[in-house]
Amino acid sequence: MTPHDQEKPLIDGTRPTSDWQALANPVAVLGIGAFEQHGAHLPLLTDTMNVEVIAAMVARDLGAACLPTIPIGQSYEHSGFRGSLSLRPETIMAVVRDLADELERQHFTRLVIINGHGGNFALPTVVRDINRMDRPIKVLLMHWSEYDRSGCRAAAGAEGEVHAGFWETSVTLATFPQRVGTPAAPPPDPLPEATRPDLNHYGLGVLRPAGPWGDPTKASAEAGREIIASVRLHLVEAIRRRLAWFDQHPRYGGDGPIVLRPMAATDIPAGLRLCRLAGWNQQAGDWALFLRLAPDGCFVAVRNGQVVGTVTAVSYAGRIGWIGMLLVDPAVRRQGVGTMLLNRAVEALAGCEAVKLDATPAGKRVYDRLGFTDARLLRRMTISVAPQGGAAGGPPIRAMRREDLPAVIAMDRAVFGADRAGLIEGLYAMAPHLAHVAAGGEGFVLGRPGENFQHVGPIAAADLPAAQALARAAFDAAAGGPVVIDADAGRDDWTGWLASLGLVAQRPFIRMVKGADAHGGDPARQFAIAGPEWG
C-alpha cells in the first residue's frame, strides 16, 4: 500500500454502521480465499491473506464497501496435507447466496467477488445461477491472478507452475514478508508429465508430494510488487468495464429470440397484463370477444415462454380488415416486436379489400412506412363522473331490445361500411344497460365495461340532436361512473357539445387505411366509434 492508498477511506468491517449508512456507492467487494498447504515456506492462509489485500485495494479504487474475506474455500486437491480444509460446494454456494440476499435487502446492486484460489469451482456456478435470475443485484466474479501483465512469471521461466512457486511466493513476499520462510528447491517430480487438469485425478500429495508445484527459490518482493501493480491497473479497469456492462445489458440471457403464435384463451391474463402496463381500458371480456370473432386473427409475441406482445386482426365480412390491440411489453420495445406483430396482422387480412386501424400520433410513423394513409381524425374524450340528466332534445330514446339488433346491425353496416353483426351482438351482450335506440330509427348507441372507464360507442345517428340524445341516454345509464368516448373530431359542434358537458380531450387517433377504401360507409352519421381496437 502506498501513502496515497492509506489516505483513501475504506468502508470495511472496522468502520461503524454510520459509515456504511452514508455510503452512496451500491457496490460491495468480497474476497474469497482458501485454507490449504503452501509447502514449508508459506502459511496455510496464503490465498486468503493475499486476496484480502487485493479486495481492499479494489474496494478503495471503486469507492465500494469491503466485506470480510471468506477464509476457507474448496481445496480438495490438498487432501493429505494436515490443516488443509474445504467447504462442500453447496456450502460455499449457500454462503454466497445468503450474502447476495443480505446485500440486496440493503440496496446494494453489485457484488464483486475477488477469487483468490483457482480451486473454488463452486463460485462460477452460483454466480451464474444468481445472475440468470435477473435480480436487482448482479454478481461479478473476478480471478485476480489472471490480471497480471507484468511478465514476471515469464521472465523467471515459471509459466508452467501451479502452486506456491515463484509467482505466489513473490506476491506474499510483497504483502506479508514476515510470513514467508526460506523456500527449498523442489524435489524431482514423481509424475513430470502431469498437467493441471490431472488434479481431477490425483491430489498434490501424489503429483507434488512436497507441496509446491513450481520453484519458489527465485521469488522476490520486488517481483511481487510489480505483479500487484500490474494487477491493480488491469483488474480494476476490467471490473469497471464489466460493471458498465451490467448497466448496458441488464438481462443475463439477453433479449432472446421472439416468436409469434396464435393467441389462445389461456393467453387472456397475459393480454390483460400488457393492457394494465399500457394503462388501457380492456377487460377479459374484450379479449374473449376478439378470440370469438377472429380466432385466426389474434396473435401473441412470446419470448422465453412469456407473452410480450399482442395484436388482433378482425375481418369484417372480407371487406374491411381491422387491426387493433397492438401492445408491446416495455421491456422489449425498440426491438422490432411491434413491426413483427403488425406485419403478421396485415398478412392475416390479405383477403380484405382494405385494412384499417386507428393510430396514435406516435404509432402513425410506423404505419406510414408500411403504406397506410390518413383518412380522418378522431378524438378521445373522458370524464370522471358521467353527466346525468340535462335538457331534453332530439328524438325519443329507449333501451335497446334484442329484437332491435337486426335493424341496428343494418344501420351499422351502412354507417361503417361492412357487416359487423358479431361485434354489435357482442357489445350488446357485454353492456345491455348502455345500449339504446332512437324510437324512430334515427340511430343507436352501444357501449362496454372497462377497467378505467365505461366506453360509450359506437354512436350512429341521423343528425346531431339524435347523437346528443343517444349520448345522454348512455351517460345516464353509466350511473355517475367514469366514461370515455372516441368522437369524430371533424365535427366541432359535436365535440364542443361533449366538452360543454365536462368531457376533456385526452388524445387524438388518426384513422388510417391500406388499400382501396371502397367501403368507407357514411362517416357523416358516425359520431363515435366502437373504439380504436374495433373501428
What is the residue extent of each domain of the chain? 17-248, 263-352, 372-535
| The pLDDT value given to residue 393 | 83
Residue 85, C-beta contacts closer than 8 angstroms, at least 6 positions apart: 35, 36, 72, 75
Question: Do the beta carbons of residue 445 and residue 456 sit within 8 Å?
Answer: yes
Question: Do the beta carbons of residue 54 and residue 198 sit within 8 Å?
Answer: no
| The pLDDT value given to residue 3 | 42
| The pLDDT value given to residue 402 | 97
| The pLDDT value given to residue 389 | 84
| The pLDDT value given to residue 7 | 55
| The pLDDT value given to residue 363 | 86
Scanning 214-360, the segments in alpha helix (DSSP H) are 221-248, 268-278, 284-293, 337-348
Class of domain 263-352: alpha beta
Q: Give the residues of the chain that fall short of pLDDT 50.
A: 1-4
Q: Which residue, chain included where needed, has cell 500500500?
A: 1
216: closest CA among 454, 41, 29, 443?
41
| The pLDDT value given to residue 490 | 94
Residue 502 gets which letter from DSSP? T
What cell was used for 335?
Answer: 426491438
| Size of the chain, expressed as the number of residues it contains | 535
| The pLDDT value given to residue 4 | 44
Distance CA 78, CA 371 (A): 71
Class of domain 17-248: alpha beta
Strand partners, 32: 70, 115
The strand ranges marked E within 329-451 are 354-359, 373-383, 397-399, 436-438, 443-448
Question: Do the beta carbons of residue 54 and residue 231 sit within 8 Å?
Answer: yes
Same CATH topology for 263-352 and 372-535: the answer is: yes
- The CATH architecture of the domain made up of 372-535 is 3-Layer(aba) Sandwich (3.40)
167: closest CA among 231, 83, 76?
231
Distance CA 460, CA 41 (A): 95
CB atoms within 10 A of CB 321: 27
Distance CA 502, CA 387 (A): 8
Provide DSSP, 510-522.
Answer: EEEEEE-------
| The pLDDT value given to residue 80 | 92
